[in-house]
Structures are given as structure tokens and as C-alpha cells.
């Protein structure tokens, strides 16, 4: 597993803090930073305003500390409600349960940033040793969560997903066998596992595949989404060298952990050819990069988003077997 290096984190941070989003669009990392600065503001501004009102009625010398604690407590209760309330709603039906550890960790991170804003306001109103100590402790406390969430967003945006979706958000009906197939694929720790996804138009093939790969990105695994037509071109391109690595290009398809190949449909003619298993094999096993391509397929977990029917499932399975993929590492799924 390739860890995103510190130099790339600093490069992305520079882009987010200095670069103009109006020129290059809003990245996930930028959105996370903006969100946390918003939490700081939602702690700072109410604390300052409440203090201005409360000082008219209180002569306490520690009023700024009291207000900071009260505002932090309010946001703590608010965030706890946001986590607990959906659990007790009867209308919440999940095919795949949310990752509560991930949700709780995110909630704790948000509460810490609310608290930073509140106690910074208290410090701005009146500087005391206690408030300095609290602010230093809070800033130290958010160092690791900030690193974790910022790099998580980098893993997600480097995957080039067309949209963001968690597996728990995917609400299309599934039978138990299909759920088991997906859970087994998601939870396998080995490499070279392949999932053939069949389904009708608008059955949710792409959204499910993106959600599965996105869960792996959140676990800090390399993932990559590509359409089939783009993938065919990538088969004839070399891997980027170490010197060519940069933001939005930190890994190629041959060295990713999870690869989503979308819109492979054996019934549609693309560029004058039918994309059938034999056609795809010939593209993969080309004269220039054939060995590298097949080795990458053997060592990558791949989600193949195929056509409307799994009547050709045996042909697609045979394609993978012909490239050295054991049959027990190949599973299929049909969405209705």
C-alpha cells in the first residue's frame, strides 16, 4: 500500500490555502478545511455574542470561561443528537450498516473544532493561563484527526470518483446473497479479487461500484475509477515515473489497490468494435504493455461494471481465468 507522502500533503495544503478555487474548482480537501474553519467560527462567534449579553447580568470574573464551556456543551449535545437520532428512527433501512466508528471519530473531530472556536473567543475576551492551556491542549488534540481526515480526502479525490457515495447510502433493494457477495468482496484482505457487476440501465451498477471503492479509499487504500473507453487507452500507456508523480496523479491503474472499470457493455459497439471478452483480452495483451497489464489485473482488486445481462457471465469469468485469476477469486452480482 502506497502511503501519500508528506510532500504531497503539503503541496495539496498549499493549493487549498493559497490557490483560488474559482480557477480550479473545489477539492474534497478544500471542502474539509472550509468545514472545520466553519466549526471554529460557530464556536467563536456565539461565545463572543453570548458573553456580550451575559456580562450585562453577571459580574463573574470567569464569565468568559463559563460562556466558552456552555457553547462547547451546546455543540457537544447537538452533535451527539445528530449521531444518535438516526439510529432510533424506524424508517432508516440500510443494506449496509454505517461505520459507527468512523462516524463517531468524525463527530469527535467536529466537537474539538467547535471547542477551539469557543475557547479562542474566551481567550480573546480575557487572556488567562487556564484558557491558554486549554487552547494548546485542544490544538494538540486535533493534530492527528486533522492529518487523518485530510489525507482521507486526498485518497478519495485521487481515486477520481465521478461522485461521492458511502456504501451505507446505497438504498437499492438487494437480496441476502447479493449482500453477502458485496460484503465478502469489501472485507477481503487479499489482492487479485474480481467482482463482475451486471444489471439493467439505471439499476445502480455504477453507484454501487463507486461506493464499494470509496469505502476502501476511506481506509487509506489506493482506488481508481475509470470508464471503459478511457481504460482502453490506458492499456497502451506506461506507468508514471516517480518524478512524474504529482497531485491528481499519485498512482496509475497498474499500481492501485482497487480499480473500477465502468460502462463495459458487450452489446454496445465502441470505436467500431464490440467489447466482448476476446476483444478486451486482445486490448489487455497488446504487444507493448501486455505483460504489465495482465500482471496488474492479477494483483489488483477489480470491479467490472458490465451490461444488462449476465448471460455472458461464463465468458467474462473465462477471460479472467485465462489471465491467471483463480475462479474462487471471481464473484458476480446482478442488479435488477
Backbone angles phi, psi at 219, to 5 degrees: -85, 10
Confidence band of 1 (pLDDT split at 50, 70, 90): very low
Q: What's the rounded mean pLDDT across residues 265-286?
A: 72
Are the C-beta atoms of residues 331 and 195 closer than 8 Å to each other? yes
* Confidence band of 22 (pLDDT split at 50, 70, 90): low
Higher per-residue confidence, 95 vs 309: 95
The pLDDT assigned to 269 comes to: 53
Q: How far apart are CA 105 and CA 254, in angstroms?
A: 32
**Residue 332 vs residues 27, 184, 215, 251, 306: alpha-carbon distances, Å:** 34, 12, 19, 27, 10
pLDDT tens digits, 211-247: 999 999 999 999 999 999 899 999 999 987 777 778 7
Residue 10 has pLDDT above 60, yes or no: yes
Q: Provide the pLDDT for residue 268.
A: 55
pLDDT category of residue 274 using cuts at 50, 70 and 90: low
Q: What is the mean pLDDT of residues 116-144?
A: 97
Q: 42 CB contacts (<8 Å, ≥6 apart)?
A: 75, 114, 117
**53-105: pLDDT as tens digits:** 999 998 898 999 999 999 999 999 999 998 887 766 656 667 888 888 999 99
| pLDDT tens figures, 133-169 | 999 999 999 999 999 999 999 999 999 999 999 999 9
> Which domains are seen in the chain, by residue range?
6-157 (no CATH), 159-335 (3.40.50.300)
Under DSSP, is residue 319 helix (H, G, I), strand (E, B) or coil?
A: helix
In this structure, are residues 40 and 117 in contact, taking their beta carbons and an 8 Å threshold? yes
Q: What is the pLDDT of residue 277?
A: 84
Residue 66 grid cell: 463559563
Spell out where the chain has E strands.
Answer: 194-199, 223-227, 258-262, 269-270, 273-274, 301-305, 330-335
Beta bridge partners of 332: 196
Amino acid at each position: 500500500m502506497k502511503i501519500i507522502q508528506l510532500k504531497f500533503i503539503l503541496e495539496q495544503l498549499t493549493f487549498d490555502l493559497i490557490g483560488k478555487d474559482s480557477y480550479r474548482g473545489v477539492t474534497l480537501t478544500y471542502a474539509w478545511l472550509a468545514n472545520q474553519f466553519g466549526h471554529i467560527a460557530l464556536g467563536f462567534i456565539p461565545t463572543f455574542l453570548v458573553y456580550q449579553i451575559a456580562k450585562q447580568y453577571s459580574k463573574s470574573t470567569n464569565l468568559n470561561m463559563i460562556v466558552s464551556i456552555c457553547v462547547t456543551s451546546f455543540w457537544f449535545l447537538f452533535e451527539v443528537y445528530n449521531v444518535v437520532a438516526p439510529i432510533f428512527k424506524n424508517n432508516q433501512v440500510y443494506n449496509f450498516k454505517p461505520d459507527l466508528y468512523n462516524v463517531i471519530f468524525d463527530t469527535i473531530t467536529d466537537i474539538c473544532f467547535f471547542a477551539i472556536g469557543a475557547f479562542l473567543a474566551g481567550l480573546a475576551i480575557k487572556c488567562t493561563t487556564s484558557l491558554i492551556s486549554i487552547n494548546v491542549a485542544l490544538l494538540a488534540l486535533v493534530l492527528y484527526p486533522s492529518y487523518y481526515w485530510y489525507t482521507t480526502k486526498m485518497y478519495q479525490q485521487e481515486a477520481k470518483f465521478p461522485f461521492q457515495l458511502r456504501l451505507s447510502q446505497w438504498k437499492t433493494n438487494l437480496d441476502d446473497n447479493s449482500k453477502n457477495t458485496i460484503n465478502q468482496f469489501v472485507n477481503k484482505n487479499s489482492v487479485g479479487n474480481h467482482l463482475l457487476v451486471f444489471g439493467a440501465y439505471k439499476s445502480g451498477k455504477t453507484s454501487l461500484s463507486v461506493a464499494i471503492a470509496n469505502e476502501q479509499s476511506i481506509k487509506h487504500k489506493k482506488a481508481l475509477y475509470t470508464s471503459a473507453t478511457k481504460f482502453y487507452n490506458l492499456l497502451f500507456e506506461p506507468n508514471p515515473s516517480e518524478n512524474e508523480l504529482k497531485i491528481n496523479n499519485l498512482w496509475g491503474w497498474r499500481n492501485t489497490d482497487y480499480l473500477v472499470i465502468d460502462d463495459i457493455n458487450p452489446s454496445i459497439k465502441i470505436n467500431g468494435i464490440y467489447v466482448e471478452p476476446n476483444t478486451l483480452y486482445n486490448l489487455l495483451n497488446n504487444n507493448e504493455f501486455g505483460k504489465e497489464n495482465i500482471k496488474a489485473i492479477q494483483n489488483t482488486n477489480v470491479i467490472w461494471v458490465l451490461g444488462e445481462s449476465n448471460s455472458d457471465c461464463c465468458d467474462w469469468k473465462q477471460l479472467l481465468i485465462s489471465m491467471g485469476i483463480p475462479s474462487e477469486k471471481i464473484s458476480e452480482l446482478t442488479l435488477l
